[in-house]
Amino acid sequence: MNILVTGAGGFVGRNLVENLKCIRDGKNRTRPALSIEEIYEYDRENTQEQLEEWCSKADFVFNLAGVNRPKDPKEFKEGNFGFASTLLDTLKKQGNKCPVMLSSSLQATLAGRFGTSEYGLSKRDGEELFFRYAEETGAKVYVYRFPNLAGKWVRPNYNSAVGTFCHNIAHDLPITVNDPSVELELLFIDDLLEEMYNALEGHPHRAEYPGEGEVYEGKTYDGLTPRPASEGRYCYAPITHKVTLGRIVELLRTFHDQPQTLMMPAIP
C-alpha cells in the first residue's frame, strides 16, 4: 500500500508519518493487516508535479494540510478549501478513486461559540467539497472533526492550548486563563492515530452530529458531540477526555514543581 500524507510536516502529519514508518519497518506489529510500501510526505515545499505523481500512485490519502492561524483571515479559505480542491482535482486528473481522509474541526459545526468562526466556515466548505467528490467519483471519504488535540510535537502558540500551557510553564513564562471553568474535550495524538489506522483498514468509527438543541433518545445535543451511527456521514475518534482549563493548569504546575516538592499528583 502506498500512502500520501499532505501536511506531513505538521503536528498530526509528523506523528502519523513516523508511526506509519514503524508499521512499514516492522517495529509496530499491532496492525498485521496493514502492508505499507511507500509513504509520500507532501508539504508546502513540495511541487505540483510531485503531488500529481504521488496522487497517481497512492492507495490512500490522508489530507492533513490546512491553515490554523493565518495573518489574514482570507488565508483560511485558501488553505482549508483551496488546497483541498487542488488535491481532489489532481486525484480526478489521475483517475485515482482511492479512499481519502479529511482532517476537519469541531468548529465546522458552527455550534455555540463557533457560530461566526472564519476557520469553522472554511472547514465546513472543505467538508462539503469532499462529500461532493464522493458523490461524483464513488470514492470513499472519511471526514473527521477533531476536538482539541494534545501530544508530542504539538506546537505552542499555534493550535493547542495545552501545548502552549506546557511550553510556557516549562519555561517559566506567564499564561493567560480567562475562565478556569471552561471545559475542553481533548484527543491525544496516539488515540487519534489508532483511529486513523482504523480508517486505513476500512472500518472507521462513524457518527452524525445532531444540531444544537436537537433531542435524540431523550438526550439534548450541543451540536458538538458526535452520535455514533453505523452509516454516519462523519467519522470520529471514540476516546477523548474532558477537563477544565483550571485543572489542566493545576496539573502542569504540579509536574513543574515536582523537583522541589517531591510530590506526585494523584493518579486515579
Active-site positions?
A: 119
Nine-digit cell string for 135? 458523490
CB distance 205 to 228 below 8 Å: yes
Q: Quick one: DSSP state of residue 108?
A: G
Neighbours of 121 (CB within 10 A): 20
Q: Beta partners for 240?
A: none
Cα 156 to Cα 191: distance, rounded to the nearest angstrom: 20
CB burial of residue 137 (10 Å; 0-12, 13-18, 19+): middle
Q: Would you give the end-to-end CA distance of the chain in angstroms?
A: 41
Cα 127 to Cα 234: distance, rounded to the nearest angstrom: 10
Cα 163 to Cα 194: distance, rounded to the nearest angstrom: 21
Q: Give the residue carrying C-alpha cell 493567560.
A: 176
